[in-house]
Amino acid sequence: MSRRFIPKVVTANDLILGDAVYLTADNRWSRLHSEAELIEDEDHANARLAFGAAQKLIVVGVYLADAKPGPNGPEPVHFREEFRTRGPSNYPHGKQVETAN
Partner 1 sequence: MYSYSEFDEAFIRARVAQFSQQVERRLDGSLTEEEFRPLRLMNGLYLQLHAYMLRVAIPYGTLNPNQMRQLAHIAETWDKGYGHFTTRQNIQFNWPKLKDVPAILKALADVEMHAIQTSGNCVRNVTADHFAGAAADEIEDPRPVAELLRQWSTDHPEFQFLPRKFKIAITGSPNDRAVTRAHDIGLRMVRNAAREPGFEVMVGGGLGRTPMIAHTVREFLPKADLLPYVEAVLSVYNTLGRRDNKYKARIKITVHETGKEEITRLIEDRFAELRPLFGGNDQALLADIEAAFAPPAFRNAPTDAYDAFYAADHAFRAWADTNLTAHRNAQYAIVTISLKAHGETPGDATADQMRLMADLAEKYGHSDLRISHEQNVILPHVHKSDLPTLHAALSQMGLATANVGLISDMIACPGMDYCALATARSIPIAQQISTRFQELGLEQTIGAMKIKISGCINACGHHHVGHIGILGLDRAGVENYQITLGGDGTETAAIGEKTGPGFAYDEIVPAIERIVRAYLDLRHSAEETFLDAYRRVGAAPFKAALYGTEGEKDAA
Q: Which residues bind partner 1 (CB under 8 A)?
A: 13, 15-20, 56-57, 60-61, 77-80, 83-84, 87-91, 93-95
Give min distance, CB of 65 to partner 1, in A: 12
Q: Is-contact 22 28, C-beta < 8 A? A: no
Give min distance, CB of 15 to partner 1, in A: 7
Beta bridge partners of 23: 29
Closest to partner 1 by CB, 38 vs 60, is 60
For the chain, the 3-state helix, strand and coil shares in percent, each to the nearest 5, are 25, 25, 50
